[in-house]
């Protein structure tokens, strides 16, 4: 009995670590894309630091949604419009927080937009990672059966308390 619980815990831990690695990979990839687009807008269009932030934000947010849905959480199912709505709600909060951090970093820490953006991303990533999984892609109701996790052909049952 104890061996079975230990095995279940190990499999669940490996599954969670794999998902965390994918989540961080998506975050890093989107961060690099947004940094590159921010730099391009800043240097080629001369929009200014704040307008360049928003110009780089649109493609990176779209990319982040789809990579998180299909790569990180491997969710092929679910109501896409509903997920996009919930993602948008989370996004309003985290983007406001991220832009506020960006603005304050530009004002008080550095004049370099890319460095200010790095500070903002750390803030946004922290909050985003706490709410995006449960709030957007995995909706559970009270009293639901244990969570069934399916990933790369493996199925793991995690008992929720």
Number of domains in the chain: 1
Radius of gyration of the chain from Cα atoms? Answer: 19
Q: Name which of 111, 103, 66 is nearest 84 in CA terms.
A: 66
102-152 pLDDT, tens per residue? Answer: 889 989 988 888 888 888 888 877 777 777 766 676 655 444 454 454 445
pLDDT-wise least confident of 13-17, 31-35, 107-111: 13-17
Q: How far apart are the first and last CA of the chain?
A: 19
* Domain ranges, residue 135: 2-158
pLDDT higher for 101 or 20? Answer: 101
């Amino acid at each position: 009995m104890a061996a079975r619980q230990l095995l279940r815990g190990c499999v669940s831990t490996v599954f969670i670590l794999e998902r965390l690695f994918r989540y961080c990979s998506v975050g890093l990839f989107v961060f690099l894309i947004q940094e590159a687009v921010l730099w391009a807008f800043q240097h080629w269009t001369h929009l200014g630091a704040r307008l360049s932030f928003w110009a780089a934000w649109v493609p990176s947010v779209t990319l982040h949604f789809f990579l998180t849905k299909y790569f990180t959480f491997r969710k092929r199912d679910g109501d896409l419009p509903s997920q996009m709505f919930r993602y948008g709600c989370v996004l309003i909060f985290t983007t406001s927080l991220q832009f506020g951090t960006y603005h304050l970093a530009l004002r008080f820490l550095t004049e370099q937009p890319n460095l200010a953006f790095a500070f903002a991303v750390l803030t946004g990533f922290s909050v985003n990672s706490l709410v995006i999984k449960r709030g957007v892609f995995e909706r559970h109701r009270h009293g639901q059966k244990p969570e069934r996790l399916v990933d790369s052909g493996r199925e793991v049952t995690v008992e929720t308390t």
